[in-house]
Chain A
Amino acid sequence: ANFRSVDEDFFEDLEDTLIGADLGFDLAISISNQVREAVKLENVKDKEAIKELIVRLMVESYERQGENEDQSMHFAPKGQPTVILFVGVNGVGKTTTVGKMAQRYKDQGKKIMLAAADTFRAGAVKQLQEWGDRAQVPVVAGPEKADPSSVVYQAVERAKDEQVDILFVDTAGRLQNNVNLMQELAKMNRVIQKVLPEAPQEVLLVLDATTGQNALQQAKLFKDSSEVTGLVLTKMDGTAKGGIVFAIRDQLHLPVKWIGFGEKASDLRAFSAEDFVYGLFKDLVKN
């Protein structure tokens, strides 16, 4: 879109841009209407000012939705292990994100352990072990095709015994409409709580930025089955904008906590609404 002057075409371009970024139709129209109102009220005319206005409105709207939410990462009191569970549909980047986080918190001086609770997908355990090797942190794995909950149980016990600071649990990809597999997640949660009643401190739902409107269903159903505490939005180094997280924020009040932007351990950063919104318009609002 090339927002030349602020006329009807401008608002149509804005809607196209927002829909093209996967915000969804309703939200795109609602934001566009808010901008229309604000432009009238503030009598904005030049393009730079408009761009600033849009970004401000979107950041405000994102943050307003999350006023009562805690966007920070939660940890157990000192002396107890924190458990962080990663869930999501197939191929979104769970294992990779576990690898990235292991490195990040290890670099902060924490004692880290990984649990390979994807006992289903071919090569999944090996993949996590390779990430564990890179970060030089131990990986708890069970025998082939083991019950994932038994692996989780062993890992939590070990983490407690060895006074690990953070245990990251990698789970198998599962589609949210697969009831059996969703129940398996609930079981994992129960198993963790048997050993550590306050855990898991975080259940992070990993979402692929290329995903469209289905991500809303993912968030809904994963939230129902495993009390998701936040989102990780991956593959932001691609051309997709990940705008669906706005709709998820609006409807489900789940904050994005992390952004993945590549396949290296360092390609992870904390989420910033402002950066995210700027990214959305980076190549869309041309001067």
Chain B
Amino acid sequence: MAFENLTERLSKALKNLTGKGKIGEEDLQASLKEIRLALLEADVYYPTVKKFIAAIKEKAKGAEILDGLNAPQQVVKIVNDELTALMGEKAVPLNKSEKIPTIIMMAGLQGAGKTTTVAKLAYKLKKEDKARPLLIAADVYRPAAIDQLEVLGKDLDIPVFSEGTDVDPREIVKHGLAEAKANKNDYVFIDTAGRLQIDEALMTELKDIADIAKPDEILLTVDAMTGQNATETAEGFANALALTGVVLTKLDGDTRGGAALSIRDVTGKPIKFVGQGEKPTDLDVFYPDRMASRILGM
């Protein structure tokens, strides 16, 4: 297997230590190497891994806990605690506006899962809070993007505002918001087109939409399988937009999802939800401790 259980790996790395008493510098190095590998195989950003290993080293030494049989487990626990802390400890709920509607805008790279997440989240609110959301179809670029949102809306009995592909997304958003006001919708979702963070024209469009809509939530949607480039992408979106949170998608796969760490680190914004499948119900609140264990393969 590509991803062995870390505890097992560490035990192997430290197996000749049992009964030796205190673990020395060299032995610690060996186990830190294993941790570094586990983190890199999980796609944690490399500079973060380096920082992280240095911090663990300090902690492990300071705590003087590395004696006896349980040393590997103890190292794992320190790493686990650190990761959890880095990812924000507690679950953070969705922002809610005092006056209706609460406006939620999506942002992210192509194919990350924005449109699917809009449907899932709107459905969750409808089911759990009896909310009356309106979905605005502001992706005029991807072939059949509007159809996709409309089919999802129809299946879930949630209205979709669209004006085809010949109207500027800024205008669509203005009109959609007016419609939400007239209909007293309590939530509005803006589904935007996927874009590269280096695409200046499309990033400007996104900023303009945010200026027009003044969203309560701007959710960066990130594919959990993302590699080392996650940081650069997150940075690009965070520089252009006042992000309020992150949605991590496709966690139903076998990825370890180390990008979660990088994104949290760069944006400083909480991961609020995770996508765990393609169905409308496959959306869950994010728990940092579970993610930490997952990254480590525990």
Could you list which residues of chain A lie within 8 angstroms of chain B, going by C-beta atoms?
16, 19-22, 24-25, 89-93, 99, 120-124, 126-127, 129-131, 175-178, 208, 210-217, 220, 235, 237-241, 244, 263
Contact A212 B227 (CB under 8 A): yes
Contact A176 B254 (CB under 8 A): yes
Q: Does B30 contact A (CB under 8 A)?
A: no
29 contacts between A and B (CB under 8 A): A16-B46, A20-B228, A21-B228, A22-B228, A25-B40, A89-B253, A90-B250, A91-B110, A92-B111, A124-B144, A126-B144, A176-B254, A210-B223, A211-B223, A212-B227, A212-B228, A213-B42, A213-B43, A213-B227, A214-B43, A214-B225, A214-B256, A216-B2, A220-B2, A238-B229, A238-B233, A239-B229, A240-B227, A240-B229
B residues 41-64 near A (Cβ < 8 Å) are 41-43, 46-47
Contact residues on B (Cβ < 8 Å of other chain), bracket: 35 or more
If over half of A's interface residues share one DSSP class (helix, strand or loop), that class is named, otherwise mixed; here it is loop
Name the residue among A22, A93, A130, A240 with the largest chain B CB count within 10 angstroms: A240
B residues 3-19 near A (Cβ < 8 Å) are none
> Out of A19, A126, A176, A208, which one reaches B111, CB within 8 Å?
A208
Q: Does B113 contact A (CB under 8 A)?
A: yes
Cα A20 to Cα B255 with chains together (Å): 18
Cα A216 to Cα B119 with chains together (Å): 30
Contact A212 B259 (CB under 8 A): yes
For B123-161 the 0/1 string (1 means CB < 8 A from A) is: 000000000000000000111110111111001000000
CB-CB under 8 A for A127 and B41, given A19-B46, A91-B112: no
Q: State how many angstroms separate the Cβ of B262 from the closest Cβ of chain A.
A: 10
Q: Specify which chain A residues have a CB less than 8 angstroms from the CB of B250 in the assembled complex.
A: 89-91, 175
Q: Does B258 contact A (CB under 8 A)?
A: yes
Contact A130 B143 (CB under 8 A): yes
Contact B143 A127 (CB under 8 A): yes
For B180-205 the 0/1 string (1 means CB < 8 A from A) is: 00000000000000001110000000
> Out of B42, B47, B141, B252, which one reaches A263, CB within 8 Å?
B141
Contact A122 B41 (CB under 8 A): no
Name the residue among A21, A92, A122, A127 with the largest chain B CB count within 10 angstroms: A122
